[in-house]
Amino acid sequence: MKNNKPKYNQIIEAAVKVIAANGYHGSQVSKIAKAAGVADGTIYLYFKNKEDVLVSVFEEKMGQFIEKIAESTSKKQNAEEKLRTLIEMHFSQLSADYDLAIVTQLELRQSNYALRLQINKVLKPYLKEIDSIVKEGMEEKLFRSDLNVRLVRQMIFGTLDEIVTNWVMKEQKYDLISQVPEVHALLTGALSSAR
């Protein structure tokens, strides 16, 4: 499998840095190859083209991101704790890798329609994780029973996504992690069955 090969991982890591620094359109394959310490042709042993590199970056990094979130939330007792963990993990993983945050929040949005469809496929497991937390909260009677799960998922993901985008645009001028308690309180307040 290609992602078990060290050069593949070198290229993925280099691509994140190069795309973050130069933008997707300014990131030629030759720049990514140079940053990875490989010959230009080596890139094509693993990827069809630059677009494939970007999708692979997202698949690899988002795959790890989602795995860590699923693993952490599974250890929590109830939906409110799971939601807080999801928020913490979302913010902490992206704040720990500013280059990746730039790529996911800015560069992927400038991509073409076909690329966005591929990215949406990668995001599906994360959105299912959010759905699962919302449904669990409804079953536990922590969240209202009349919630539209799809709408709530969009609200939660959209909120987290926009907060990280704003943090990237403001060039890390504040601590993203410090936003967790308030974001959690706002979201659980909106979902709470105690309203």
Say how far apart CA 60 and CA 12 lie, in whole Å.
8
Model confidence over 80-110: pLDDT tens digits? Answer: 999 999 999 999 999 999 999 998 888 877 6
Check whether 2 has a pLDDT greater than 60. Answer: no
Q: Please give the pLDDT value at position 112.
A: 77
**Which of 58, 13, 57 minimizes the C-alpha distance to 36?**
13
Map out the domains of the chain with their CATH numbers: 50-191 (1.10.357.10)
59 has a pLDDT exceeding 80: yes
Average pLDDT of the residues of the chain: 91
Quote the CA–CA distance of 134 and 149 in Å, as a whole number: 7
pLDDT digits (tens, 9 = 90+) for 64-80: 889 999 999 999 999 99
Task: Say whether pLDDT at 144 is over 80.
Answer: yes
The values of phi and psi at residue 194, to 5°, are -85, 0
Place of tokens 């945050």: 101
